[in-house]
Amino acid sequence: MLAPVLVYVEQLHLVRCNCRHISSKYAISKEHFKHLKFLNVEENGIESWDEIVGFRTLPVLKRLTLSKNKIREIYYKPGFNDLYMITIEDNLLDSWSSFDALNQFKGITTVRCTGNPVLEKAGIAGRNFVISRLQYLKSINGSEIHTQERRDAELHYLKRTYEEYVQANSQTRVELTDEALQKHMMEQHPRWYELVETYGSPIDIVSL
């Protein structure tokens, strides 16, 4: 409705406007918002990523703020090619699969994500988990990720997820070629075997 009269707008802040339904009601045309770089739809009661996916075709969208909504899950659909920053603080994300989905948007280097159940449950390990799952990430919650921090986080993540699997299956050692392990890691920790290629087998990593 606003698009035809906001031809050259570069920033659009629709905060607390009660616009809960966006993509499910309106087709977002490629002919509109050609110059839009920053979209802020904070605190609108948005309950689903379905309402956001329509923006993925915008050609120069670089920043997206979704804080203080009720989004439970993020999934991947091709697009958001210029997006480098997403703010998803204070939503209802309760699964790490949402961060695995964000990793598929390869341009995203900056994330703000505090106040989500999955992170609150993880406690102080949450930062390490986000860093390890998002390989292109350079900044999290306003803090830069240095090379050594990424290395430490990924090593800790690699070892911890392996140990959790072994303990959950009442074993002391599982070979990396084990089909059940492979299936579990591909589903729950998509970057795990990639990290094995980088750092070596977690079986051989000394306790950090």
Domain edges within the chain: 3-145, 155-208
Structure tokens at 75: 């999934």
What pLDDT, on the 0 to 100 scale, is given for residue 133? 98
| Residue 207 reports pLDDT greater than 50 | no
Its sign, for the CA torsion 51, 57, 61, 63, is positive
Q: Which residue has the higher pLDDT, 167 or 31?
A: 167
The predicted pLDDT at position 4 comes to 85
pLDDT tens-digit series, residues 58-101: 999 999 999 999 999 999 999 999 999 999 999 999 999 999 99
Is the pLDDT assigned to residue 40 strictly greater than 60?
A: yes
Return phi, psi of residue 112, to 5°. -120, 125
- The pLDDT value recorded for residue 205 is 67
Of the pLDDT bands very low, low, confident and very high (cuts 50, 70, 90), residue 30 is confident
**Residue 167: C-alpha distances to residues 4, 162, 188 (Å):** 58, 9, 16
Q: How far apart are CA 64 and CA 83, in angstroms?
A: 8
For residue 33, count CB atoms less than 10 angstroms from its CB and return exposed for 0-12, middle for 13-18, buried for 19 or more. buried
Percent of the chain with pLDDT over 90: 87
Residue 208 has pLDDT above 50, yes or no: no
Q: Please tell me whether residue 104 adopts helix, strand or coil conformation.
A: coil
CATH assignment of 3-145, given 3.80.10.10, 2.30.30.760, 3.10.20.600, 3.50.50.60? 3.80.10.10
